């Protein structure tokens, strides 16, 4: 890698053009695509998409497991002048219906079982639905091919839906430049080379999950997508494919450190990257024991600005709780309540400035104005910054440390969960009159979802029926680990539910 990353963004689909033609780019169950094959498939998929959805800027959604379709769509949509909306395959039909309606999707491609799970009214008017197998057959039969695009890097390329502390998921708008520079940044500080093999275990609907594809292709490396059922599947894939780069969230790392790793699964690993929550000192020690030769990269980010900080592997043992320093193309300021940059050891809000900042929330000016605000006067970039809501402090050496969050967001198993979304689902069952969802510290999950509820009048069997009803409406990672039933929930002087008192009671 060069001494400094190239700051000049390109249209996103140009990532397919970077690797050596004969080098492996994507290792699928049905075979390996070389970079030459990757270029051919992206060009054909883009032509097919353009014929299916001719309106430039239209949204194309995917709701499927990792495979050729979901891996190539980020580039193919970009080449066709369309906006990709990847949907987490773990989501249930209610969340998918919201994303389709909110994004105004013109096309949804999903596995047949997921298509069949949709009910009347879930697909908005004007949105076509295709089974994944039918889409792949249509693409394979397409004779057209689109050349690399000449899109303005500031054009919208993707909308990634992420939960907020209140309400339903909101769509973060990412430009070609956002995603291109995110790939360049991560490839640079991780030191990805063309002979690297990335095992992509994170969801492709997750910003860093998708970046695993993009940063690998920027470096001319290969990617092995994996939808694992058991942690041991990850270890087996590392051995089978000679994996050099492995990323995970803390709960998965915990499970992986409980395995017996065979020597051939460990030998090729060069780097481990963590996101979605902080690593504990014990977890770092366990990872060191299994992968003594690997560099460990703790990272912090938010979808609204992708990655913000990483900790140099050389500092992990001496500063295990630090968030590190800014990634390339990011400027991180700590702003106190007085609006000034804080001094060493002083707490403030983490504010992310620079070209990785997203374009705001899709069709949501109010929430965009809350989070995307003018950069502080002290910023060298200026323009719009993301005001994260996270409280941090910087030490005398410039290293950042997390203090806490201002909002009520639950972070469980690397997922951002809206308490209100869980509460709304509970109340919508008709079994619950009032509900409060909270994140309670959990050694394996980071935070576990707990629900405090008061049963609706006449719902005498609510305790038995509610878990079954929520299982139908919420994805697994949003399911309450415990439901606490109360005859009355405390209220504050304003008559609102006293979340602070409830949290104190549960130790949240």
Average pLDDT over residues 421-441: 91
Q: Of 299, 248, 247, 243, whose CA–CA distance to 270 is shortest?
A: 243
Average pLDDT over residues 209-237: 96
Cβ-defined contacts of 27-36 (< 8 Å, 24+) = 27/197, 27/222, 27/223, 27/224, 27/225, 27/241, 28/67, 28/68, 28/71, 28/225, 29/67, 30/68, 32/222, 33/68, 35/220
Q: Of 319, 275, 269, 328, whose CA–CA distance to 297 is shortest?
A: 275
Average pLDDT over residues 171-191: 98
Q: At 355, is the secondary structure helix, strand, or coil?
A: coil
Residue 496: pLDDT band with limits 50, 70, 90: low
Enumerate the β-bridge partners of residue 437.
451
Fold match between 1-17+24-174 and 228-407? Answer: yes
Average pLDDT over residues 157-165: 84
| Higher per-residue pLDDT: 236 or 282 | 236
Start-to-end CA span in the chain (Å): 44
Residue 198 contacts by C-beta under 8 Å, 6 or more apart in sequence? 192, 212, 215, 216, 221, 222, 223, 224, 243, 244, 245, 247
Q: How far apart (Å, rounded) are the C-alpha atoms in residues 116 and 361?
A: 30
| Higher per-residue pLDDT: 88 or 496 | 88
Chain centroid to Cα 354, Å, comes to 20
Average pLDDT over residues 263-272: 98
Crossing angle (nearest 10°) for helices 231-241 and 250-257: 80
Residue 492 has pLDDT above 80, yes or no: no
Can you give the residue ranges of every domain in the chain?
1-17+24-174, 228-407, 410-506
pLDDT of residue 280: 83
pLDDT of residue 2: 45
CB 177 within 8 A of CB 153: yes
Q: Of 234, 214, 266, whose CA–CA distance to 25 is shortest?
A: 214
pLDDT > 90 in the chain, percent:
81
Of 134-138, 275-279, 434-438, minimum mean pLDDT range: 275-279
pLDDT of residue 493: 58
Q: At 89, is the secondary structure helix, strand, or coil?
A: coil
Residue 1: pLDDT band with limits 50, 70, 90: very low
Count how many residues are written for the chain: 508
Q: Which helix (H) or strand (E) holds 431?
A: none
| Topology, domain 410-506 | GMP Synthetase; Chain A, domain 3 (3.30.300)
pLDDT of residue 104: 98
1-17+24-174 CATH, one of 3.40.50.300, 3.40.1190.20, 3.65.10.10, 3.40.50.980? 3.40.50.980
Q: What are phi and psi of 79, to 5 degrees?
A: -70, -30
pLDDT of residue 284: 92
Q: What angle do CA 384, 324, 10 make, to 5 degrees?
A: 45
Average pLDDT over residues 136-141: 96
CB 440 within 8 A of CB 508: yes
Residue 6 contacts by C-beta under 8 Å, 6 or more apart in sequence? 184
Residue 319 has pLDDT above 90, yes or no: yes
Q: How many CB atoms lie within 10 A of CB 126?
A: 10
Q: How many CB atoms lie within 10 A of CB 245?
A: 27
Provide the mean pLDDT of the chain: 93
Of 194-203, 413-422, 475-484, minimum mean pLDDT range: 413-422
pLDDT of residue 334: 98
pLDDT of residue 489: 87
**Token pair 């509900």 in the structure block, residue:** 435
CB 15 within 8 A of CB 180: yes
pLDDT of residue 167: 61
Tokens of 209: 């999950």
Residue 407 has pLDDT above 70, yes or no: no
Q: How many CB atoms lie within 10 A of CB 54?
A: 12
pLDDT of residue 382: 96
DSSP string, 46-80: HHHHHHH--STT-EEEEES-SSHHHHHHHHHHHHH
Q: How far apart (Å, rounded) are the C-alpha atoms in residues 384 and 6?
A: 22
pLDDT of residue 309: 97
Report the side by side order of strands in the sheet with 156-162.
128-131, 107-110, 59-63, 83-86, 156-162, 170-175
The CATH code that applies to domain 228-407 is: 3.40.50.12780
pLDDT tens string 330-374: 999 999 999 999 999 999 999 999 999 999 999 999 999 999 999
CB 309 within 8 A of CB 326: yes
pTM, 2 dp: 0.86
Tokens of 348: 């403030």
């Amino acid at each position: 890698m060069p001494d400094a990353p190239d700051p000049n963004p390109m249209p996103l689909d140009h990532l397919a053009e970077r690797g050596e033609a004969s080098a492996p780019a994507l290792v699928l169950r049905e075979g390996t695509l070389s970079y030459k094959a990757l270029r051919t498939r992206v060009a054909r998929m883009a032509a097919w998409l353009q014929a299916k959805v001719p309106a430039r800027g239209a949204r194309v959604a995917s709701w499927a497991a990792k495979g050729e379709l979901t891996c190539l769509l980020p580039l193919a949509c970009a080449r066709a002048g369309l906006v990709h909306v990847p949907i987490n395959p773990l989501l249930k039909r209610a969340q998918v219906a919201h994303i389709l309606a909110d994004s105004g999707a013109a096309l949804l491609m999903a596995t047949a079982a997921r298509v069949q799970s949709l009910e009347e009214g879930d697909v908005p008017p004007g949105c076509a639905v295709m089974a994944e197998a039918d889409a792949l057959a249509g693409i394979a039969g397409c004779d057209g091919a689109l050349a690399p695009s000449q899109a303005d890097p500031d054009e919208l390329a993707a909308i990634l839906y992420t939960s907020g502390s209140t309400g339903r998921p909101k769509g973060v708008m990412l430009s070609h430049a956002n995603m291109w520079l995110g790939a360049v940044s991560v490839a640079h500080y991780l030191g990805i080379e063309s002979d690297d093999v990335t095992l992509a275990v994170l969801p492709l609907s997750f910003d860093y999950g998708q970046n695993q594809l993009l940063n690998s292709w920027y470096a001319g490396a290969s990617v092995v997508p994996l939808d694992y059922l058991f942690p041991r599947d990850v270890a087996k894939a590392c051995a089978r494919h000679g994996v050099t780069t492995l990323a995970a969230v803390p709960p998965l790392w915990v499970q992986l450190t409980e395995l017996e790793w065979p020597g051939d699964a460990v030998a090729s690993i060069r780097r481990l990257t963590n996101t979605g929550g902080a690593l504990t000192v014990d977890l770092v020690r366990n990872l060191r024991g299994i992968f003594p030769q690997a560099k460990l990269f703790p990272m912090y980010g938010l979808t609204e600005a992708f990655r913000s900080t990483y900790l140099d592997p050389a500092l992990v043992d001496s500063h295990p709780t630090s968030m590190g320093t800014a990634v390339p193309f990011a400027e991180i300021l700590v702003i106190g309540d007085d609006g000034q940059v804080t001094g060493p050891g002083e707490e403030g809000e983490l504010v992310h400035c620079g070209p990785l900042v997203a374009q705001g929330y899709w069709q949501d000016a109010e929430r965009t104005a809350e989070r995307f605000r003018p950069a502080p006067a002290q910023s060298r970039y200026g323009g719009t910054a993301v005001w994260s809501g996270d409280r941090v402090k910087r030490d005398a050496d410039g290293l950042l440390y997390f203090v806490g969050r201002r909002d009520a967001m639950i972070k469980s198993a690397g997922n951002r969960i809206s308490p209100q979304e869980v509460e709304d689902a509970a109340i919508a069952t008709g079994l619950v009159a009032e509900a409060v969802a909270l994140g309670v510290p959990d050694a394996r999950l980071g935070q576990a979802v707990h629900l405090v509820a008061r049963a609706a009048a006449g719902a005498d069997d609510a305790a038995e029926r509610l878990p079954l009803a929520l299982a139908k409406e919420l994805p697994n990672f949003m399911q309450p680990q415990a439901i606490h039933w109360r005859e009355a929930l405390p209220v504050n002087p304003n008559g609102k539910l006293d979340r602070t008192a409830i949290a104190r009671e549960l130790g949240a």
